[in-house]
Amino acid sequence: MPVQPLKFAPHALAAAILAVLSLYAVDARAEPGPFTSLAGYWRGDGTISMKDGSRERLRCRATYAVSQTGDSLNQTLLCASDSYKFDVNSSVTEEDGAISGSWTETTRNASGSVSGQVNGSVIEVAVTGAGFTAGISIVTHSRTQSVSIKPQGGTDVVGVTVTLHRER
């Protein structure tokens, strides 16, 4: 008995080809954006260092709302010591490794711009505002984040270091 060729309706054949091709297609969304690992709630402590040489323990909590693509985020960071408090909100986007955006500090009614670079788990930015500039470094490893802030003027603070841990 001769073997009969299989007959497919044109739409069934097209569907089968698309199904096979989709197994080999590269999904551009599969590559997470640079902020994806930050999403969620973080809490930790650190130290704030002042011009007069004094240092105080600092307690902080941060929330990162990250876009689905992982290339933009809104951050809320609240830190307090016995005598110092800051409440910063920032909104940034990333394109080809470059970061840009804005920030506001609600307890002092200050605001400005954010610019910098992201390279893997390391974010290096400069924040500027009226009479204020600071360099910020954020390094994330799994569920731990190290934050270093170095103001260049306009404040009695000479440095802030904080280690945050993901809560959920």
DSSP notation for 14-77: HHHHHHHHHHHPPPGGGS--TTGGG-EEEEEEEEEEETTS-EEEEEEEEEEEE-TTSSEEEEEE
pLDDT of the residue at 35: 93
pLDDT band at 102 (very low <50, low <70, confident <90, very high): very high
Q: How many CB atoms sit inside 10 A of residue 149's CB?
A: 22
pLDDT of the residue at 155: 79
pLDDT band at 60 (very low <50, low <70, confident <90, very high): very high
Q: What is the pTM of this model?
A: 0.77
157: closest CA among 45, 52, 81? 52
Instruction: Give me the mean pLDDT over the 90-106 stretch.
Output: 95
Q: Which domains does the chain have, with CATH numbers?
A: 36-166 (2.40.128.20)
